[in-house]
Structure 1
Amino acid sequence: MRQRHLTCPCDTGTGFASTSLSEGLGALQCSGCQGVLIALDDYRRWREHHPDVPAPPAAATVAATNEPAFARPCPACGRPMSRHRVGLLPDFRLDRCSPCQLVWCDDGEWTRLSHARLAQALDHILTDAWQQALVAQENRARREAEIRKRLGDDTYEELQRIRQWLATQPNRVELIGLLSAD
């Protein structure tokens, strides 16, 4: 990534230095907060040469980080960066500036992405589909917890067993109708 006038979101006044996140993937690292700035063009070129790891499902679990709850300013243009959740409980967010095509990772987040086998999925994480899948999974988990609390674990597990059995039956609709009939 070519250095231009950049201001770190940590606002320590420290500069950026070139670093290597992975073989062939360079980034700029703040000498103050240790966060890294990745140019998406550089990432995509790296990804083309490292396609061996498939994109995992959106439910991937990653370690939590201590990150602020606010949108960071882009180090290049100063506009608020959009925040993108990485996974479910615990999770963290990556910050992206769409106009500048830059992604900010707090100290250690790239390592967490790599350990969770998500480094090659950065483009997927930044999509609306990934974000919507996280919300849907969160809603399913909340709904499951609610049902378990109301009916109990044994009843819930039996319902899941019946549901799986019904899914394999060719006359599933008729069976469901018979179950709900008086």
Structure 2
Amino acid sequence: MDCPVCKNAGLTREKLEQDLIAYACAQCGGRMIVANDYSHWLEKQQGTLPEKPFSDISLEIHDVEKAKFCPECSRLMVKYKVGHGLDFKIDRCGGCGGVWLDANEWEAMKDRNLHDEINSVFTAPWQAGVRQEQNSQTLDVLYSKKFGDQDYTKIKEIRSWLDAHPKRQAILHFLSDDSPYKA
């Protein structure tokens, strides 16, 4: 197998985890995980690990944006956003199901305990969640610009308090009434 990024560099077998072999490129640091190898590894796990919160690890991710062809079956690979605080895409072959991870992407996913959920990244519900996450981030930036950082922080505090309040509806009616003190 040749590297789909470097084109002429061969991939060598590498032990990625106990019972999981990947094919690595020494030039770009990318790795190919064969679908059956990953499935067998998952079967040996004791279920998926709980997702860990984002940590400020200092891994440099080299997310290669150009299209890749699968080193195993030569089909075009499709990019999927990982989300969950990770701002890169992983590549999956629609033919054989193999996955290409650019340099340090496995480590970043492992740091969040997402390495055992790679197959989930390719599902419609996961991708819908990624889009929702992006929409929320976009709206967060827009609201911060509209209200200013300090006011927006206060608004979010009030909203959080209001969402948990047992008399939420009554408070909302009071706030939306132009003259709540008129009889």
**Normalising by structure 1, what TM-score?**
0.82
Answering whether residue 108 of structure 2 is matched by residue 98 of structure 1, we say no
For residues 31 and 66 of structure 1, do their structure 2 counterparts lie closer, same or farther at Cα, with a shift above 3 Å needed? closer
Q: 2:38 aligns with which of 43, 51, 55?
A: 43
For residues 104 and 180 of structure 1, do their structure 2 counterparts lie closer, same or farther at Cα, with a shift above 3 Å needed? same
Answering whether residue 153 of structure 2 is matched by residue 157 of structure 1, we say yes
- Provide Cα deviations, 1:22-45, integer angstroms capped at 9, x if missing partner: 111012223443321111221122
Q: 1:144 aligns with which of 140, 144, 168?
A: 140
List runs of 5+ in structure 2 lacking aligned partners. 179-183
Query: Which residue of 2 is the match for residue 172 of structure 1?
Result: 168
Give the letter aligned to residue 35 of structure 1.
Answer: G
Query: Which residue of 2 is the match for residue 28 of structure 1?
Result: 23
Give the letter aligned to residue 25 of structure 1.
Answer: L
Kept in 1, the 8 Å contact 2:64–2:102? The answer is: no
Query: For 1:107 and 1:156, how far apart are their aligned partners in 2?
Result: 37
Query: For 1:151 and 1:172, how far apart are their aligned partners in 2?
Result: 23
Query: For 2:136 and 2:174, how far apart are their aligned partners in 1?
Result: 27
Query: For 2:12 and 2:118, how far apart are their aligned partners in 1?
Result: 22
Query: Which residue of 1 is the match for residue 9 of structure 2?
Result: 14
SS at match of 1:86: strand
Q: Alpha-carbon deviation of 1:123? A: 1.7
Query: For 1:55 and 1:159, how far apart are their aligned partners in 2?
Result: 31
SS at match of 2:79: strand
Q: 2:61 aligns with which of 60, 65, 68?
A: 65
SS at match of 1:96: strand
Query: For 1:158 and 1:121, how far apart are their aligned partners in 2?
Result: 36
Query: For 1:7 and 1:14, how far apart are their aligned partners in 2?
Result: 6
For residues 168 and 32 of structure 1, do their structure 2 counterparts lie closer, same or farther at Cα, with a shift above 3 Å needed? closer
Give the letter aligned to residue 3 of structure 2.
Answer: C
Answering whether residue 77 of structure 2 is matched by residue 74 of structure 1, we say no
Give the letter aligned to residue 90 of structure 2.
Answer: L
Give aligned-pair identity as a percent. Answer: 29
Kept in 2, the 8 Å contact 1:64–1:92? The answer is: no
Kept in 1, the 8 Å contact 2:62–2:104? The answer is: no
List runs of 5+ in structure 1 lacking aligned partners. 1-5
